[in-house]
Structure 1
């Protein structure tokens, strides 16, 4: 299963470090995917950053004139001109800083939004099997943490190149033009700093990936606990989970502290470098001024340029550390985007054409991953326009068959045909448009009651939504809600009872008006009164449709046109309720004899 292999490989890759080639390839990919779309915005931002760099360099360069002309030569006639030029330089730098910051923020926000949409679209293409392997809470937390990595890569490259590097080069040019000997003194202490920073960045690379993983586990554990809060409280699991989450948080804290120690090692390195350079420069310039009577203007211009160069130099020194951290995040997003969907459609796939809506399984075998086979050569026919019930002990393969029909999974062997068409050769969209599905565990989405029903068919009118609710016997309790059909359901419908949620999910299936209806124990969450009402609605709705239902109660089985008894992954019996009940040595008959009309058939 490609997606399973993808997930396993991703887990293995977490143990490996990013080499320079990988960093280079990620940078190239980020630029290729985003640079062209935002070339105008980046061009304007670069223009602003160049203006910032030039105005900064100009401020340092003009210091010689300030000191020599205003203070040494005392020329009042040019003071106003010098002051005006300095004022203009600061105004230009302020406007340019504002322009580049706003532009890069807009571009960054657009990149994040686009990748969020792209990720969601890609996740929708992955099969149910992928989500069965991946923890949803961990996946959501990981995506939310890493999505900004791609934005940060581009912004760091632009700002570091156009502002910091250009500013540093301009200020170095000012330094060299003012005093090349002092410049040599500064450059002499630079190589040790560069090698030290490189060592720090290499150590930080692996730690960053581990920190991202641990951080996502913290968010995942919290989200998982919130989603299962009723179980947590019912089983008094608070203390156990607190201890579990505390251990994860402590691990995350240790990783974050380790990153902080490594990242901030650049501070004493750069500060030491600055101290050595500036003290050496001051000593040399002071002795020249004292013993050689050299005017101090050039020195002041040099020291101004040196001090101004400190900040961009420090940012550039940290740039590799920051880029590698951003690349780690970006690479984890790309590893998800590059996962190939398990159930890719054939290039010549056609739309499913429904005539009688007959479903046929031919020698179907299936197993989840490399596990024990669930289905072993199952062959059965669900006739068009009729109801076929699947019954059998837990683990017999009933729900698996329901999952194979919409192609949530593909059989390991055999075929599934609808009106003679192999569903592996038709488009998934056309296949699933022909189906309505009610799961055993009802799920409602954030929004109103009306929104949740309309998910079955977005173009359904309000009248059709309300008619589906009536058929599902949900209309009356909906009207009793504070805002009727416009009442928000809360997260996963937690404001409603289990039976109410199930009736809304049935209404969602009914409004779809599909020729095939799949019911996976659709009435299991209902009390006897509600089940009887919904069953009457289903009986009327199932007429003329092909229905495959997993039986939970006897009333459902009695009304079925055909009952197929599953046992250990095989279809062992088939017939109507009356026919199967008469087989004294049959599995269905034995189980049926143990039950009354008000108890489950086989569960």
Structure 2
């Protein structure tokens, strides 16, 4: 398991580098500045040793050998070098911070957009199997976690490597013996780093999962706040959230416990290397086998070499969190899209609106329900009504028409063209959907009506609102079309939301209009208003209605009863009543209920 965790982190890094191949120039530039900055950062310790050599050996110092004979000249030269080294370090620190931080911001912004755009292309089946909280956590928190690593951790990792190589080279030039002693702890430090990384990897993967669970719980509770309040379940939901939150805290606690143990262990290894350099180097200098200035360089560089390695704990902590997040992000990007888009092949214009289902079969993988060998034909401009029990397959047919799913057998055609052979954009632009579960976006009434045609004029927006019988209540609002609807339209009544949904579909002016139980959750007044609207807009347009209230479909050109995923009956309202089958029985139940209600009234 530990080996797998290490391999998984490495694979995630490789996948990230593949994804970021368009940023290679920026990565190389940032890496180069980090390397140069660290070389300048190490140089002052060498200059200190050289300065000690000047003070001790004066005319016989190292600097004297390159042409500066007097100690005064040598000090001036060292001062000038120090100035340029510090200036160079400052310049390249500025550059690497600018480059890494801008890279982090650009990469995280592009990655978030890529994941969102890919998620929009995914099949509806994916969204039905994943919680919105998990997806939001991936696109937001996981992307931010990667950005935090690139913002500081990547530079730290590079500079630790540069320190080991550069300081090691100086050590071996001055004294191979002391170099061996100073570098003795490094294998232990590196082994410890990978050991803790292997331990921390699965723990941080668990942390990321818990973040998703927490985001999902918060999202669901806030969306269902009215239900929570109505059932006085605030305390129970707070306890559930506390349970998920504590699971996140516990996952973090386990990860922190492992990562926090790294520094104390590595500190002792560092102390061993420093004492070896300090003691053995001092003895060699006292015997005259090692230049005093060189001894000073070695002592200072030992600290410069070993102490930054303690930072590996934080770097590995950031790295593991980032790689756990990277895996989730790239796994989302790798989810295949099975409903393929035939871009560049639009429906033939003009779209007349003839719809046919030819021996269509489809079953949901999770439940096994769906439709079986359904064949229907709707001539252009006609109205088809689908009725049947809940779960009989009515809405499944509409999802197949919109290509939210592809049929497992048979085909769906519009104007004789199989919809699987045309672009999704042209297909869905030809269809207006008004569903039972109306979704309004946060914004104004105007924005929501014009959602399908943002370029529409105000006159066109108002005309659509009039046709949907929504203009009267819109005018009564203090800000009219500019009234904010609130999140998911919470500031409006159910009937008002439904009328705006119909206006939105009408402004799109599609040749095919789909009403998926659009009147099942509205009052009688709204239902009557929608029926009047449909009477106006049905002419010259193909309308497919799914309805439970049979009174809303009596004027349909054809009514189809779906039962158990198959066509049980079809015909006109009058013809089906004469048959005395399922439709007639349901009609008697509903009209009887209406008469009983009126009698009780």
Q: TM-score, normalised by structure 2?
A: 0.89
Mean Cα deviation higher: 329-338 or 373-382:
373-382
CA gap 1:554/1:192 in 2 versus in 1, 3 angstroms:
closer
- Look up the SS of the partner of 1:376 in the other structure: strand
How far 1:21 sits from its partner (Å)?
A: 5.5
Instruction: Give, in whole Å, the separation in 2 of the partners of 1:372 and 1:496.
Output: 37
- For the 8 Å contact 2:351–2:511, the answer to whether it is kept is no
Aligned match of 2:13: 27
- For the 8 Å contact 1:440–1:524, the answer to whether it is kept is yes
| Deviation digits for residues 82-133 of structure 1 (CA, Å, limit 9, x no counterpart) | 3343233223212211211111111111111111221122111111111111
Instruction: Give, in whole Å, the separation in 2 of the partners of 1:42 and 1:225.
Output: 42
Aligned match of 1:262: 258
Aligned match of 1:488: 484
Pairing partner for 1:541 from 537, 543, 566: 537
What is the number of equivalent residue pairs in this alignment?
585
- Look up the SS of the partner of 1:524 in the other structure: coil
How far 1:316 sits from its partner (Å)?
A: 5.0
Instruction: Give, in whole Å, the separation in 2 of the partners of 1:209 and 1:485.
Output: 47
How far 1:402 sits from its partner (Å)?
A: 1.9
- For the 8 Å contact 1:473–1:534, the answer to whether it is kept is yes
CA gap 1:524/1:332 in 2 versus in 1, 3 angstroms:
same
Does 2:338 correspond to 1:342?
yes
Aligned match of 1:10: none
- For the 8 Å contact 2:6–2:198, the answer to whether it is kept is no
Instruction: Give, in whole Å, the separation in 1 of the partners of 2:301 and 2:181.
Output: 14
| Deviation digits for residues 291-315 of structure 1 (CA, Å, limit 9, x no counterpart) | 6596643222222112222344334
Aligned match of 2:439: 443
Instruction: Give, in whole Å, the separation in 1 of the partners of 2:516 and 2:349.
Output: 24
Does 2:587 correspond to 1:587?
no
Instruction: Give, in whole Å, the separation in 2 of the partners of 1:483 and 1:88.
Output: 65
- Look up the SS of the partner of 2:570 in the other structure: strand
- Look up the SS of the partner of 2:456 in the other structure: coil
- Look up the SS of the partner of 2:590 in the other structure: coil
Aligned match of 1:462: 458
Aligned match of 2:79: 83
Aligned match of 2:293: 297
Instruction: Give, in whole Å, the separation in 2 of the partners of 1:427 and 1:352.
Output: 11
Does 2:50 correspond to 1:54?
no
Instruction: Give, in whole Å, the separation in 2 of the partners of 1:439 and 1:543.
Output: 21
Mean Cα deviation higher: 281-290 or 70-79:
70-79
CA gap 1:179/1:204 in 2 versus in 1, 3 angstroms:
same
Instruction: Give, in whole Å, the separation in 1 of the partners of 2:14 and 2:201.
Output: 19
Aligned match of 1:12: none
Instruction: Give, in whole Å, the separation in 1 of the partners of 2:291 and 2:274.
Output: 19
How far 1:437 sits from its partner (Å)?
A: 0.3
C-alpha RMSD over aligned residues = 3.0
Aligned match of 1:9: none
| Deviation digits for residues 240-270 of structure 1 (CA, Å, limit 9, x no counterpart) | 2222222222222121111112222220122
Give ranges in structure 1 of 5+ residues lacking alignment.
1-14
How far 1:510 sits from its partner (Å)?
A: 0.3
Mean Cα deviation higher: 175-184 or 442-451:
175-184
Aligned match of 2:448: 452
Does 2:169 correspond to 1:173?
yes
Instruction: Give, in whole Å, the separation in 1 of the partners of 2:594 and 2:420.
Output: 38
CA gap 1:83/1:510 in 2 versus in 1, 3 angstroms:
same
How far 1:80 sits from its partner (Å)?
A: 4.3
Mean Cα deviation higher: 431-440 or 268-277:
268-277
